[in-house]
Structure 1
Amino acid sequence: MKRISGIFFSRPTLFIVGAVAGALALAGIAAMVLYEMRMDALGRARDGAENLALILQRDIERNLEVYELSIDAVVDGVSDPATLRLPAGIRQRVLFDRSTHARDMGTLLVADRTGEVVFDSAGYPPRRRNLAEEDYFTVHQRAAGAGLFISRPFVPGAQAADQAIALSRRLAGPHGDFAGAVVGTLRLNYFHRLFDGMTLGDHGSLTLLRSDGTVLMRRPYSVSEIGRSIAAAASFKPLLLASSGSFIGTAALDGERRLYSFRHIGTPPLIIVVGLSTQDIYAEWRRRAWAIGMVVALLDAFFIAVSVLFASQLRQRLAMEAQLHRLASTDGLTGVGTRRLLDETLDTAWRAARRQRQRLSLLMVDADRFKSFNDRFGHAAGDAALRAIAQCIAASARRPGDFVGRYGGEEFCVLLPGTGLDDAIRVAERIRAAVQAIDPAALGAGEDRLSVSIGVASFDGDTQRYRSRQELLLAADHRLYEAKAGGRNTVRPATAAATPAATPAATPAATPAATPAAGGGAAHPFTERG
């Protein structure tokens, strides 16, 4: 956990990435919740539509059954010779019960095989009327098994408000031949009133259809739509695939997209269709979705804004810490590493070299006679000299992993990971030559050139020779003493024969051959640095 938090606190951009990821996750969760809410709204609407369709189916089916029983009673009475022999008044009461006087029920008629009306529930003698051209009569002429037939809407009277449908059943003779039909009418006002009592929403619809797609009644009501066929509409075809069901489709009559639940009534069936508009179904869901969406959007924006602000503050803090670290780890005068950073880097490099048995070389570089140079030309010239020497060292040790640090005063230390003794000597020579090439006039030192003495020690993976980083550092320091004693402006390497224990106080006569510069001057018989 600390490691993860450390990664976040060291990389401010991760806070923004994390906030964006969190915002997306929150938006995703909100989207899932809204989707579930939408499905719940649709499910509740489907249940409501199916229940309403069931209620309407049972109401219509019950009333049609009552009327059908009255028609069947007339069929049975007309087929009974004893009933036909009764006096006219009694025969009327036997053939036609009181159901014909119910609200919205029309008259019952009996027509013979030619279509002439021979009995009329309205009274005797019957009205003069021929039904031979009507569909509810001819259907029984053509098919003996037509059963109860429900006609297309028609106007039995003079006013359009009296639109009705006819229910008819075949009369059969003694040998099963066609003998006429019994016809009853049912006013469409019954369906109109029934539909008006239902709650559908602002854009809902109720439709009663014949199985051939003819509209018998519809809400919202329009006279022009009664009797119209929607058999060719895409939304009609699913109504014939099952006796009940639900689907979402676009209405053929008004183009509204609705959830439809339907049920068949009787055989051949009428079809009752309940349509609930999707805009009504999802109206409340849309209001909630807007509210939830706005809250989530504001929260996401807040999280991202806070993360950006926090990342900005953290970035500034890290920049300040980096600057403080640079100030703490960079020598203010020379621009190279401080003694503290040198110790840390040497410890890390030494551990890596020992663990991986890799080479590690160390150079100790000291400015020759710097105290007298400083006393003679002043501190400003001395500071300029140290900066110039540091630049020469840094320019010579420029590989990745090379490190230059100020050891103290006018002394510098160079770490060369992965470098053997021969290569380290070449680097040291480049440093020595570069320092000697510094223009003294640029330092305000007249014609006195600068020079450095360099001690070199190298670890080749043999832990028997150097058991610690202190021993490696001490070996290079001893070689530096020898270089000073050997005449300065020289590079003195630590060989296998010259370990730190073997060279407690080097003298010109006891040191290995140095690599003096051309015209390096005579050797000095003292070992102190200067």
Structure 2
Amino acid sequence: MPVSNRDHPFFVLISSPRVLIGGSIVFALALLLVSTVILYGGRQDAMDHAADSSRNTLLVIERDIARNIELYDLSLQAVVDGMYRPDVMAAPAQLRREILFDRSATAPYLGAIFVTDASGRVVVDSRSNSPPPANLADEDYFRIQRDRQAWGLYVSPPHASPLLGGQTVVFLSRRISDTDGSFQGIVVGTVNVEYFHQLLSGLTLGPHGTMALIHTDGALIMRAPYNARLIGRDLRGTGPFTKMMASGEGTFADTASIDGIRRVYAFRHLSGLPLIMEVAPAEVDIYAKWKARAEKVGAIMALFCGTFVGLSILLAYSLRQKARAESALRILARTDSLTGLANRRTLDERLEQEWRRAVRTQRPLSLLFVDLDRFKAYNDRYGHQAGDAALAAVGRCLAEQLRRPSDFAARYGGEEFVVVLPDTNSMGALSIAESLRTAVAQLAIEHAGSEQGRITVSIGAASWQGLVANDVASVVKAADEALYRAKAIGRNRVAGAILG
């Protein structure tokens, strides 16, 4: 018989409720995994974009600062060159000042330029023909130039300068040497930190991002967003500054010591200058848009997967209910509705299976035909409803008397029953038949038309011994003939037949 599509093992497997639910869960998890991988890739893209933006911003700021400091340095070198010219130094004070400082006049945010002698006394002031009575010998930008001949341009940390009314400035100094190299003084200019403030304030890195210019000795020169109280703060010992001092440039993530916000730092040491420029967008800003998008996508995917799994569970439940209903229908189709025993169709299939097994193993097979005595008279006297009840009681009695799982009883038709006894010889069959006859009699169902006054059965037993090649039909025929003999000798009897 060909196997229908619905009976195919693959169809049976995929229509299994457990497989359906398990498969839906696996599919949902796989979908969530793919979504997670895609969202994680988006997160990495957000970080890469922020890093590229930071590097570009860093490059713009670095070039601006380096160019302006170079211009300021040219002004200082011009002053140094002028100090070596006797004609300049011999000129009247006003003319000498105009010659020495003409190239610095238009430089934005460049404050006063001073020239000192070897003792540190200010001898020339770019602002006036009369220099202030000040001595700079104790300042770091003076001592460095005095003690180190080849230092070149020195850039100081931010200072509040008394010479400039307490303004916070960065000092740039150069050494003035005699022809023999001996120290003759310095020329020192000032860069107002407002320059750095204006430079950084025009750029933004999100609500929590920062930019900072730091001296390599740890002093904070400028920070955006601006806070005047932070200018000059010593950052030595902090995690970000320590990492920035470890290499010339790079990128890293760390928590700021100033406000405790975790940021991604891109930094670079300005070439030839003791300055570090860093650009640090906050992680919360970098991932803000990604997080909002990820939350939406995640919610949609979770809802979709949850709905999918939920529908799969409902479908699995429906399939299970359908399978139970179909199973119940199959059982009903194979069961006698009155007695609860197997019906004729099931009997034929089961008998054929047991016959083949008996032939294959050469083991005996016995068959019992059970018939209620004078049942027509019972129906005529007590009615068909009572007759149906009697048949049901006898059917239950037969089923209860069978002890082995392989033995089974079926309703053959009308008031006849058949009991199949695999691996049972003639003696065993007659013994079981006698116990069945006795059990039915002990039900004591009243039957006024019977010799015993109660319902009894006659049983014909046939046993195939496995010695001669018969067929199952011959066993059925022999049992039926044995039943007629039991009826003929007085009913409520057991008669047997043995086949080869």
TM-score by length of 2: 0.86
> Equivalents in 2 of 1:179, 1:443: separation in Å?
150
Matches within 5 A, 1:62-141: 62-78=67-83, 80=84, 82=86, 86-88=90-92, 91-92=96-97, 95-141=100-146
User: Is residue 450 from structure 1 mapped to residue 456 from structure 2 by the alignment?
Assistant: yes
**Which is worse superposed, 118-127 or 100-109?**
118-127
> Equivalents in 2 of 1:324, 1:427: separation in Å?
32
Q: Which one of 388, 392, 395 corresponds to residue 390 of structure 1?
A: 395
* Residue aligning to 1:524: none
Listed one character per residue, the Cα deviations across residues 249-305 of structure 1 (whole Å, up to 9, x for unaligned) are 222112222222111113353111111122222221122122212322332333234
Secondary structure of 1:153's aligned partner? strand
Give the aligned residue type for 2:236.
A
> Equivalents in 1 of 2:34, 2:125: separation in Å?
71
Q: Which one of 16, 25, 40 corresponds to residue 30 of structure 2?
A: 25
Q: Which one of 330, 337, 349 corresponds to residue 332 of structure 1?
A: 337
1:230 to 1:315, Cα distance in 2 relative to 1, 3 A: same
Q: Is the 8 A contact 1:16 1:307 kept in 2?
A: yes
> Equivalents in 2 of 1:444, 1:172: separation in Å?
150
> Equivalents in 2 of 1:357, 1:226: separation in Å?
106
* Residue aligning to 1:262: 267
> Equivalents in 1 of 2:138, 2:348: separation in Å?
118
Q: Is the 8 A contact 1:438 1:450 kept in 2?
A: no
Give the aligned residue type for 1:465.
A
Give the aligned residue type for 1:456.
A
Q: Is the 8 A contact 2:75 2:103 kept in 1?
A: no
Superposition deviation, residue 411 in structure 1: 1.8
Q: Once superposed, what is the RMSD of the aligned Cα atoms?
A: 3.3
Secondary structure of 1:154's aligned partner? strand
Superposition deviation, residue 65 in structure 1: 1.9
User: Is residue 196 from structure 1 mapped to residue 206 from structure 2 by the alignment?
Assistant: no
> Equivalents in 1 of 2:153, 2:448: separation in Å?
124
Percent identity, please: 41
* Residue aligning to 1:205: 210
Secondary structure of 1:331's aligned partner? coil
Q: Is the 8 A contact 2:366 2:461 kept in 1?
A: no
**Which is worse superposed, 47-56 or 141-150?**
141-150
1:257 to 1:160, Cα distance in 2 relative to 1, 3 A: farther
Superposition deviation, residue 151 in structure 1: 1.3
> Equivalents in 1 of 2:55, 2:447: separation in Å?
101
Give the aligned residue type for 2:276.
I
1:357 to 1:140, Cα distance in 2 relative to 1, 3 A: farther
Q: Which one of 4, 8, 13 corresponds to residue 7 of structure 1?
A: 13
Matches within 5 A, 1:258-337: 258-337=263-342
**Which is worse superposed, 163-172 or 66-75?**
66-75
* Residue aligning to 1:185: 190
Gaps of 5+ in 2: none
User: Is residue 163 from structure 1 mapped to residue 168 from structure 2 by the alignment?
Assistant: yes
> Equivalents in 1 of 2:413, 2:153: separation in Å?
118
1:129 to 1:160, Cα distance in 2 relative to 1, 3 A: closer
Q: Which one of 25, 39, 45 corresponds to residue 44 of structure 2?
A: 39
Listed one character per residue, the Cα deviations across residues 113-145 of structure 1 (whole Å, up to 9, x for unaligned) are 321123333344533321112122223344445
Secondary structure of 2:409's aligned partner? strand
Secondary structure of 1:218's aligned partner? strand
1:107 to 1:447, Cα distance in 2 relative to 1, 3 A: same
1:131 to 1:159, Cα distance in 2 relative to 1, 3 A: closer
Give the aligned residue type for 1:3.
P
Q: Is the 8 A contact 1:456 1:480 kept in 2?
A: no
Listed one character per residue, the Cα deviations across residues 406-441 of structure 1 (whole Å, up to 9, x for unaligned) are 111222223345556655554434323322322234
> Equivalents in 2 of 1:424, 1:70: separation in Å?
128
Superposition deviation, residue 83 in structure 1: 6.2
> Equivalents in 1 of 2:146, 2:422: separation in Å?
113
> Equivalents in 1 of 2:448, 2:291: separation in Å?
81
Q: Which one of 234, 242, 248 corresponds to residue 239 of structure 2?
A: 234
Listed one character per residue, the Cα deviations across residues 72-107 of structure 1 (whole Å, up to 9, x for unaligned) are 3434444x3656655256654554441353111122
> Equivalents in 1 of 2:158, 2:46: separation in Å?
37
Q: Is the 8 A contact 2:79 2:100 kept in 1?
A: yes
Number of equivalenced pairs? 492
Give the aligned residue type for 1:367.
L
User: Is residue 56 from structure 1 mapped to residue 61 from structure 2 by the alignment?
Assistant: yes
> Equivalents in 2 of 1:368, 1:17: separation in Å?
57
Superposition deviation, residue 388 in structure 1: 2.4
> Equivalents in 1 of 2:189, 2:386: separation in Å?
129
Secondary structure of 1:41's aligned partner? helix
Matches within 5 A, 1:208-227: 208-227=213-232
Superposition deviation, residue 442 in structure 1: 9.5
Superposition deviation, residue 160 in structure 1: 8.3
Secondary structure of 1:232's aligned partner? coil
Q: Is the 8 A contact 2:344 2:410 kept in 1?
A: yes
Superposition deviation, residue 336 in structure 1: 0.6
1:474 to 1:211, Cα distance in 2 relative to 1, 3 A: farther
* Residue aligning to 1:399: 404
Superposition deviation, residue 63 in structure 1: 1.4
TM-score by length of 1: 0.82
